[in-house]
Chains A and B, each alone.
Chain A
């Protein structure tokens, strides 16, 4: 645990979550990992105000918030990113939906964006890793969204081997070649080969940069 404390710099976080219980839980969690929650608010308007006031390193927001209990949090996040394209935003949702993910990824240039199922907060270490990833300009998309996208089985995807589909899923989640190699227990070179083959089969431009690759794959899957 101290490993994380050392590895990551302390982030200044603005948190928007309407459930007091969960808000306190997330504050405790982030504090435990050495980050600082500069403002914890309960609705979308307060979120916009808090961002203006504190200029945080990252915003964490729930999708559904008062007063309408629809997708106020998501719209606030999109609005914030329109005003401050460099502001990293991590959106939590009770239920992932590629429609919401699309709206979020289309805001700004798609970097510094995260969209996670709220359940992932409970996987505390992974959640904090994702938070840091987004704060560093990465793209984090919930595996559930990727699974939804992959399940659409469009024809070019059918040309992929099962192993390549597996790799594609991990690429879309923003994993690096090294992380994918560890997950699948293969060499990094093998992963590189798979990725090259996938990009070729899907007519995507070859890219070494992880984020650009993620974005290309997501754009492809969503189209």
Chain B
């Protein structure tokens, strides 16, 4: 069970811990409310008096921010009757340090909602909490305790009603027992309502969620950019490091072979030379797969033409673009085409494929079609799922139509905003032209 409401609906509510959780919630609320009232009154009075000598102003600001810690404590307390965690409505400060934190918090609507809750808590809610506890469990327990207090022959029940005889004391206790059940049920309902109302003011609302979505979209975009930059860095490191060393090694081995007299040594050298050459060829393919240089130098059209050249299945290419695209769009589109062509080769059994595309109404549209057997499933953990994720970061769309018997048609559609200048793409302009960035 997660919430007091669910507990209330079950037949054994009274035998569970939930009624007592409700009592604890409301009881601790009453105590906490008094404390909050004292602190707020002290803050406002002290701040107003000292405002004359200026030190009071920070104190008033602090009092205004008192809602934040109160809300933290309240969200924590809520878990007594509602185990669903309540997300805090605040966002990360824009800049580090106390100043950044203060400006962010003071501008947030959530801060003021929490202050409103704090005032409501200090002035209205805690007395209600206390009243509910007294009526719900205090009175029944007092009645129930009557026989135990009959030591000197008379008890003043609830300070108003004197009981003098044992039979009536037992009768009062029975009444208490009878009232305890409804009392606990009522407390459960009060606690549930109380938590719901607190949640309205303390939890992240629709607006905060909308903002979070925007934030998430942005951070995801940044992640993809970082991912792209990292690929380029790895490509460059391999190119400048291992690849150059290997070429230099093959030169050294090649020269050594010239000087070696025929014999076992020359054979070993020849073997080493060939191995180094193969390692170099493998490394070249690997580097090309990480981030093809032609994409950086000449853009998507040339890179797709290159991918078509390298495809085992013959590819007809009809792709015309008026210029360079944002690097993130180019890279994503390129890798989608590569993955699609690889799938054509691996699964379709097609004899021919066609890549068509162009720029229409500010969107890059690409279509990869093959005449193979069809039946491809984009959702089946293929590389296309990951590419679909990358596309969605750019607000792009991927659709695959692949009836059994073919043909398989894959369409990609990416908004690309303004065209980048034809002068190529440095590390600095990654992700330019992205929406919502």
Seen from chain A, the residues whose Cβ lies within 8 Å of a Cβ on chain B are 1, 18-19, 21-22, 24-26, 28-29, 32, 64, 68-71, 94-95, 97-100, 118-119, 121-125, 148-149, 151-153
Q: Are A32 and B297 in contact (CB under 8 A)?
A: no
Q: Is B287 an interface residue (CB 8 A)?
A: yes
Q: Are B244 and A22 in contact (CB under 8 A)?
A: yes
Contact of B280 among A18, A32, A122, A148 (CB under 8 A): A122
Q: Are B243 and A94 in contact (CB under 8 A)?
A: yes
B302 CB to closest chain A CB (Å) equals 5
Per-position 1/0 for B410-437, Cβ under 8 A of A? 0000000000000010100000000000
A10 CB to closest chain B CB (Å) equals 18
Among B195-203, B246-254, B335-343, B380-388, which stretch is in contact with chain A? B246-254
Q: Specify which chain A residues have a CB less than 8 angstroms from the CB of B244 in the assembled complex.
A: 19, 21-22
Q: Specify which chain B residues have a CB less than 8 angstroms from the CB of A124 in the assembled complex.
A: 251, 254-255, 257-258
A173 CB to closest chain B CB (Å) equals 17
Q: Are B251 and A148 in contact (CB under 8 A)?
A: no
A218 CB to closest chain B CB (Å) equals 15
Contact of A151 among B280, B294, B309 (CB under 8 A): B309
B312 CB to closest chain A CB (Å) equals 9
Q: Are B297 and A25 in contact (CB under 8 A)?
A: no
B204 CB to closest chain A CB (Å) equals 46
Q: Specify which chain B residues have a CB less than 8 angstroms from the CB of A123 in the assembled complex.
A: 250, 254, 277
B274 CB to closest chain A CB (Å) equals 10
Q: Are A119 and B280 in contact (CB under 8 A)?
A: yes
Q: Specify which chain A residues have a CB less than 8 angstroms from the CB of B281 in the assembled complex.
A: 119
- Residues of B201-237 whose CB lies within 8 A of A: 236
Contact of B297 among A70, A122, A151, A152 (CB under 8 A): A70
Known: A22-B247, A99-B294. 19 other contacts (CB 8 A): A19-B244, A22-B244, A24-B248, A28-B251, A28-B255, A29-B254, A70-B293, A71-B297, A94-B287, A97-B306, A98-B309, A100-B294, A119-B284, A121-B251, A123-B277, A125-B258, A148-B309, A151-B314, A152-B314
Residue contacts A-B, CB under 8 angstroms, 25 given: A19-B240, A22-B247, A25-B251, A70-B293, A70-B297, A71-B293, A94-B239, A94-B243, A95-B292, A95-B293, A97-B294, A97-B306, A119-B247, A119-B250, A119-B280, A119-B281, A122-B247, A122-B250, A123-B250, A124-B251, A124-B254, A124-B255, A125-B254, A151-B309, A151-B314
Q: Specify which chain B residues have a CB less than 8 angstroms from the CB of A71 in the assembled complex.
A: 293, 297
* Known contacts A1-B258, A122-B253, A122-B254, A21 near B248 by CB under 8 Å: yes
Q: Specify which chain A residues have a CB less than 8 angstroms from the CB of B296 in the assembled complex.
A: 70
Q: Is B276 an interface residue (CB 8 A)?
A: yes
Q: Are A69 and B255 in contact (CB under 8 A)?
A: no
B341 CB to closest chain A CB (Å) equals 13
Q: Are B284 and A22 in contact (CB under 8 A)?
A: no
Q: Is B156 an interface residue (CB 8 A)?
A: no
* Known contacts A1-B258, A26-B251, A32-B258, A99 near B298 by CB under 8 Å: yes
Closest 3 CB pairs of A and B: A122-B250, A124-B254, A19-B244
Who on chain A is nearest to B285 by CB? A95
Most A CB contacts (10 A, CB to CB) among B245, B257, B258, B287 go to: B258
Q: Are B294 and A119 in contact (CB under 8 A)?
A: no
Who on chain B is nearest to A29 by CB? B251
Most A CB contacts (10 A, CB to CB) among B250, B277, B302 go to: B250
How many inter-chain residue pairs (CB < 8 Å) link A and B?
104
* Known contacts A28-B251, A122-B250, A124-B254, A94 near B309 by CB under 8 Å: no
Who on chain B is nearest to A75 by CB? B297
Q: Is the interface of B mostly helix, strand, loop or mixed?
A: helix
Q: Are B293 and A64 in contact (CB under 8 A)?
A: yes
Who on chain B is nearest to A32 by CB? B255
Q: Is B288 an interface residue (CB 8 A)?
A: yes
Q: Are A94 and B426 in contact (CB under 8 A)?
A: no
Who on chain B is nearest to A149 by CB? B309
Q: Specify which chain B residues have a CB less than 8 angstroms from the CB of A125 in the assembled complex.
A: 254, 258
Q: Specify which chain B residues have a CB less than 8 angstroms from the CB of A25 in the assembled complex.
A: 247-248, 251-252
Q: Specify which chain A residues have a CB less than 8 angstroms from the CB of B105 in the assembled complex.
A: none
Contact of B426 among A68, A95, A119, A121 (CB under 8 A): A68
Q: Is B305 an interface residue (CB 8 A)?
A: yes
Q: Are B248 and A22 in contact (CB under 8 A)?
A: yes
* Known contacts A64-B239, A97-B306, A118 near B258 by CB under 8 Å: no
The answer for the CA separation of A99 and B301 in the assembled complex, in Å, is: 10
The answer for the CA separation of A32 and B247 in the assembled complex, in Å, is: 17
* Known contacts A69-B236, A99-B302, A122 near B273 by CB under 8 Å: yes
* Known contacts A94-B239, A99-B294, A19 near B248 by CB under 8 Å: yes
The answer for the CA separation of A32 and B273 in the assembled complex, in Å, is: 18
Q: Specify which chain B residues have a CB less than 8 angstroms from the CB of A94 in the assembled complex.
A: 239, 243, 284, 287, 293
B123 CB to closest chain A CB (Å) equals 67
Who on chain B is nearest to A151 by CB? B309
Q: Is B310 an interface residue (CB 8 A)?
A: yes
The answer for the CA separation of A149 and B277 in the assembled complex, in Å, is: 23
Q: Specify which chain A residues have a CB less than 8 angstroms from the CB of B424 in the assembled complex.
A: 70
The answer for the CA separation of A8 and B237 in the assembled complex, in Å, is: 38
The answer for the CA separation of A68 and B428 in the assembled complex, in Å, is: 12
The answer for the CA separation of A32 and B248 in the assembled complex, in Å, is: 15
Who on chain A is nearest to B276 by CB? A122
